Structure formats: structure tokens, C-alpha cells
Structure 1
């Protein structure tokens, strides 16, 4: 599971991560708890830490993500 903590632009983050593909693995929004957005991976055998870093870099490259304060981590 990937967890993105952000108070702002949550809809955009959900849309981005839902369309993100990491080495053939896709992610699906599961639930929201406060500022935590949780996503399930279609393939749990991948390195979730590397996937979380890739998602974090991808969000930062977005026009709306460059100034966004957020945290992206893997939860096992």
C-alpha cells in the first residue's frame, strides 16, 4: 500500500496516482483518513519503497505539485 499525506490538492493526487504505472503495476485509491490517501498496488511483489519514491517524484513534476507539501511512503 502507498500512503500520500497531503492536505491540499487531494483530488489531483488521487487522479494522478490512479493513472500512475510503475513497472507494470497500477495503483487504485482505497480510502482517505484525514490527510492520508491510501492506494493499493495491483502487484504487491514490487518494491513499494521504490514505487513510493517514483510517485513522489512524479507528483513533484506536476504543475500543481511543485509547491505542494506532501509525504509519500510505503506501508506494508
Structure 2
């Protein structure tokens, strides 16, 4: 599972990642949880790149991490 930690534009991030095959699971405060298939470290890097590629993405302060089970 991946976690995107961010305070702003959460709905936009959910939409972008869902369009690219990530499944939104839940929101806990500033933490957005997503399920995805494949190598989680690669998917975390891909998710970060997808967010930064948006017109508003470069201005956001956020990180993407692999959730510890």
C-alpha cells in the first residue's frame, strides 16, 4: 500500500492517481492510502512523478511512501 502525505489538492491527487490505475482506499487526516499492483517502490516513484507532472503539482509540498505493514 502507498501513502501520499499532503494537505492540499487531495481530491485532485486522488483523481489523477485513480486515472492511472491506483485504487484509493481511505483518507486519514493528511494521509491518502492507495492500493496498487507491482513493485511498491517503483509505484511510489511513479505516483510522485504523476503528481508533479500536473500544472499544480510542482508547487505542492508532499511525499509518497510505502506503508509499513
Q: Do both share a fold (TM > 0.5)?
A: yes
- The equivalent position to 1:51 in structure 2, one of 22, 40, 43, is 43
* Runs (4+) off by over 6 Å: none
Q: What stretches of structure 2 of length at least 5 have no aligned partner?
A: none
| RMSD across aligned positions (CA) | 1.0
TM-score for both structures, normalised by structure 1: 0.83
2:2 touches 2:64 (CA, 8 Å); kept in 1?
A: yes
Q: How does 1:37-76 map to 2 (within 5 A)?
A: 37-41=32-36, 43=37, 46-76=38-68
Number of aligned residue pairs: 68
TM-score by length of 2: 0.91
Q: CA offsets per residue over residues 4-49 of structure 1, 9 Å max, x none?
A: 00000000000011111xxxxx2111000010000111x3xx1101
Q: Which runs of 5+ in 1 are unaligned?
A: 21-25
Going by fraction, where is strand more abundant, 1 or 2? 1
Match in the other structure for 2:31: 36
